[in-house]
Amino acid sequence: MNAELSIVELILHASVLVQLIMALLLLISIGSWATIFRKHFQIRTERHATVRFENDFWTDRDLGALYQQIRDGKYVSGSLARIFEAGMGEYLKTRQQKPGDTTAMLDGSRRAMRAAYQREMDGLERSLAFLASAGSVSPYVGLFGTVWGIMHAFRGLANVQQATLASVAPGIAEALVATAIGLFAAIPAVVAYNRFSYDIDRLSTRFDSFMEEFSNVLQRQAR
């Protein structure tokens, strides 16, 4: 009984379609875990880079020197540093082209930072759609495999004169493994998606706050 009801035996004795569904769910699970680890390290690195740049920005008020370090590649930059680089670069360029035009300098800097912000957010949010899809679709894929497996098990009873629980239980158990694998693939993806979305929203708020504060700094310097 233990051998018959082991997970491996249940998978090996399942129908071909159910086995294909299980293989698909396994691939989705592997892809989800790979995405989870990659996004975890990406967000953690980005969080540390953001904290470091904020400390450097507010400690050393020589913005020109900081900007030059980032441009020369001497500063380990993250998203916030690249947003600062875009805004500062546009500010300096506009100041050379239109000296004394404070409005043009500030507007150009804000537009440049907003464009850089969108690029950085696209990079941070990349692969989140896959986690969302894996978390929402995997249970239904597993359920389809279960329904198909149960139908296959009951069709097999047509040639049996006396149906008993012992004759139908292995087939139903094989089918239920598909649902279990679907949940195994979906639950980590949903948890990771919610966590990463929260972390990215917090980073987005910090980026927005920095852009406003940096614009105020540039406005005071322009005056």
Q: Give the residue with greater pLDDT, 24 vs 12.
A: 24
- pLDDT tens digits for 41-85? 999 999 999 999 988 888 866 788 888 888 887 777 789 999 999
Question: Which range (30-34, 65-69, 163-167) has the least confidence?
Answer: 163-167
Q: Residue 166: is its pLDDT beyond 70?
A: no
Number of C-alpha atoms within 13 angstroms, CB side, residue 118? 5
Instruction: Examine residue 216 and state whether it is found in any structural domain, yes or no.
Output: yes
Evaluate whether 141 touches 116 at the Cβ level (below 8 Å).
Answer: no
Structure tokens at 2: 């233990």
Instruction: Examine residue 102 and state whether it is found in any structural domain, yes or no.
Output: yes
Instruction: Examine residue 2 and state whether it is found in any structural domain, yes or no.
Output: no
Q: Residue 3: is its pLDDT beyond 50?
A: no
Instruction: Examine residue 72 and state whether it is found in any structural domain, yes or no.
Output: yes
Structure tokens at 149: 């497996």
Those residues with Cβ within 8 angstroms of residue 219's Cβ, 6 or more apart along the chain or in another chain: 102, 106
Domain count, the chain: 1
Instruction: Examine residue 193 and state whether it is found in any structural domain, yes or no.
Output: yes
Task: State the residue range of the domain holding 17.
Answer: 7-222
Evaluate whether 218 touches 105 at the Cβ level (below 8 Å).
Answer: yes
pTM of the model: 0.81
Percent residues over pLDDT 70 in the chain: 83
